[in-house]
Amino acid sequence: MARLSLRFLGSFRVRLDGQEIKHFRSTNVQGLLLFLSLQPHRAFSRSVLATLFWPEESQQNGKNNLRQSLYRLKKLLPSQNDDTPLLIVNRQTVQFNEAYDFVCDVHEFERLLTAGQLAEALALYEGELAEGFTADSLEFEDWFRLEREYLHKKAVDGLRSLVGQRLAERDFTGAEQFARRQLNLDPWGEVGHRQLMLALALGGDRSGSLAQFETCKRLLDAELGVEPEAETVELAEQIKNGELSELAAAIPQKETIKRLDRTQVLARIDPLPDQKLFGIEKPRSQLIAALESIDRPWLVAADGLGGIGKTSLANEVVHHFLDDALGNVRFLDIAWVSAKQEEYVTGRGIQSTKKPALDAMNPALDTESLIDQLLAQLADGPYPTNNFEAKRLALHEILRERPSLVVIDNLETVADYQELLPLLRFLSRPSKFLITTRMSLRDESDVYCLNLSELPKPDAIEFLHYEAEAQGVEALQTADESVFDEIYQTIGGNPLALKLTLGQAHVLPIGQILNSLRQTTDVKIGDLYVYIYWQAWQMLSEDGRKLFVSLPMMPNGTFEQLGVASGLEGSDLRGAIETLRSLSLIEMGKESAGQVRYRIHRLTETFLLHEVIKWQQPGLVVREPEGEQFEERLTVVLEHWQSDRNVVMIDVDELDAEKEGILKAIQF
């Protein structure tokens, strides 16, 4: 027997070591347990949880309330031992521990349904999710309502399938029993009324069957003001006329297992790149696990800087399900939609993908163009083409009846995902969406986010060796390992940047290329800068740009130092930092004296020093504001650094790093 028992189908019941736990002190503590335990695969940021449960409070008060609620949960449900706490908590995130010895009826209900054990699953459904439970937050209530409706629908659909099984087996008594239970959950569902009418008629109670038809008519008229569907009326006429043998013969037998059509899907997506991929094993397995899960998460996102390999990884994940077509019953179809209109091709620069735009008038991916693309791929027959709402409902029905994996590649802007996420939430369950984006969606509580960082050194160097051989770069095929180490130290592990470097090595000495990356604005290297950074620059607000151009002066700065360098304060500075983090332009570094430090990659620093802050308007010698701001802030930073008494408390290595950044900016 599991140590912790969570029973949420029906009333809210929690038992620890056989003893019922009742005194949660507040409904938000209960809601927190419910929210985290139903999604044990996800780590949620503290800010997301604070906003979800205490939306009316300031962020600081919300986090204090969260801290107290977590403390209360730990007191009520103590750890099994030091290695297996109930909650995995750190300074940034909170996650329910899947390794904890627990059982949850919601997880078991969904597992049994997926396994086809319908009767066992529905025996667990004692009522709606946590009947009678309410929380103090409308934001949480919105999430809770969707979860409750989802599980309710799963139960109704399961009962509908179970009645169909019993009818096919000629177990009319069992069919009647489950049909009545279905109508208790969905009294206005005509499918349930028809199933009960059929079970009663074939079981010998023709008068009871016709009485059920009259009951159906009264309910629909009283509650909805509508007449029964033609199919229901026709069934009543057949029963009235005694056509029972024809009805029995028309009962569908058990369906054969449906499979994904591999050939059809391959026609929709690009082939896998003709090269070996490096460093993808772990993120690939993480994405596959999230997508294979029978329940949450319904929305999965892979985010990271341009050129990091998001599209290639998504392609690998899709091919996993295609290659497992015989054993895979999770998805019956796969669709792929891309908002990408250009790509970087080594030696040729930025090239058009020659793919049709999702919206010819608007490069951003909008809801209607997405629906049109998906209907064209997934619909088996005719579908609506003119009415937006009709198209939306048609796609919803397809994705509900045929669980599918939908890849949305290169969802690049805030406007894109803010517009599309409500639609994706509506279309998901049981279908799932895999999104690739430069923007982090980690603040969306229902999105599983996987950030793709650069290749670690061993993988990056192995990648360099492979590419040198594949591209026939003779100068590198016999080079000493120190050369590859220098390439990595200069460029880092961005696969696109590494490929570009090797492409240049056909015509230039590697030393000259690396020197150009460090110091100059070589035209072809500038292509890489444009591709990786230009689009990110366009996404930044004024505050984001102020902070971005100040980073070379404080390449490993604290929050306060970034404020001095950028001239931003408080929430403006925090918002700018979050924006840069979401675009993978800045990373949180190690803590020093209790303070988090923020760092940028050398390639980013080079781009800032040699491109952004010296941009000029065509034909003019007047600098753009970014260049003037850089000079002004440099003076402020230098004065502050020289006069700040607290500087003596900083670690010597950190001090040297700050000094190096300031001197580099002065030298420039």
Q: What is the mean pLDDT of residues 423-447?
A: 86
Nearest to 4 by CA among 18, 386, 12: 18
Secondary structure string (H, E, C) spanning 263-280: HHHHCCCCCCCCCCCCCC
Please say if the pLDDT value at position 651 is more than 90: no
Determine the Cα angle at 659 with ends 654 and 664, to 5°: 130
Quote the pTM value. Answer: 0.54
pLDDT in the model for residue 469: 82
Structure-model confidence comparison of residues 297 and 271, the more confident one: 297
For 87, phi then psi, to 5°, come to -120, 140
For residues 49 and 93, the answer to whether their CB atoms sit within 8 Å is no
Q: How far separated are the first and last CA of the chain, in Å rounded?
A: 68
DSSP three-state, residue 587: strand
**Over the Cα atoms of the chain, what is R_g?**
30
449: its two tokens: 């986010």
Question: Can you tell me the distance from the alpha carbon of 165 to that of 162, in angstroms, rounded to the nearest whole number?
Answer: 5
Question: Can you tell me the distance from the alpha carbon of 574 to that of 583, in angstroms, rounded to the nearest whole number?
Answer: 14
Rounded to the nearest 10 degrees, the angle between the axes of helix 172-185 and helix 190-202 is 160
Q: What is the pLDDT of residues 545-567, one digit of tens each?
A: 888 888 877 777 888 888 888 88
Question: Can you tell me the distance from the alpha carbon of 434 to that of 417, in angstroms, rounded to the nearest whole number?
Answer: 13
Q: What is the pLDDT of residues 51-95, one digit of tens each?
A: 899 988 888 899 999 999 999 998 888 876 667 888 988 888 899
Nearest to 552 by CA among 647, 437, 459, 668: 668
Q: pLDDT band at 619, cuts 50/70/90?
A: very low
pLDDT in the model for residue 648: 45
Q: pLDDT band at 241, cuts 50/70/90?
A: confident
Which range among 85-89, 279-283, 630-634 shows the weakest confidence by mean pLDDT? 630-634
Determine the Cα angle at 481 with ends 478 and 486, to 5°: 115
Strand partners of residue 5: 15, 103
Q: What is the mean pLDDT of residues 15-41?
A: 89
597: its two tokens: 């430090």
299: its two tokens: 């929305």
Structure-model confidence comparison of residues 364 and 199, the more confident one: 199
pLDDT in the model for residue 104: 93
Question: Can you tell me the distance from the alpha carbon of 30 to that of 621, in angstroms, rounded to the nearest whole number?
Answer: 63
pLDDT in the model for residue 603: 56
Across 33-37, 379-383, 477-481, 536-540, which has the greatest mean pLDDT? Answer: 33-37
Across 182-191, 275-284, 331-340, which has the greatest mean pLDDT? Answer: 182-191
Amino acid at 50: A
Instruction: Note the Cα 104 to chain centre separation in Å.
Output: 24
Which residue has 């019956």 as its token pair? 332
Q: How far is CA 196 from CA 179, 213, 238, 247, 651, in A?
A: 5, 9, 14, 13, 77
Nearest to 329 by CA among 354, 378, 292: 292
Structure-model confidence comparison of residues 389 and 526, the more confident one: 389
Instruction: Note the Cα 97 to chain centre separation in Å.
Output: 20
Q: What is the pLDDT of the chain when averaged over all its residues?
A: 78
- Reported in sequence order, the residue ranges of 517-571 that DSSP labels E, i.e. its strands, are 556-558
Q: What is the mean pLDDT of residues 455-477?
A: 83
Which range among 13-22, 237-246, 617-626, 630-639 shows the weakest confidence by mean pLDDT? 617-626
User: Which ranges of 58-128 would DSSP assign to H, the alpha helix?
Assistant: 59-76, 105-114, 118-124
Which range among 254-258, 269-273, 608-612, 619-623 shows the weakest confidence by mean pLDDT? 619-623
- Burial tier of 49 (Cβ tally within 10 Å: 0-12, 13-18, 19+): buried
The percent of residues in the chain predicted with pLDDT above 90, rounded, is 20
Question: Can you tell me the distance from the alpha carbon of 658 to that of 205, in angstroms, rounded to the nearest whole number?
Answer: 87
pLDDT in the model for residue 5: 93
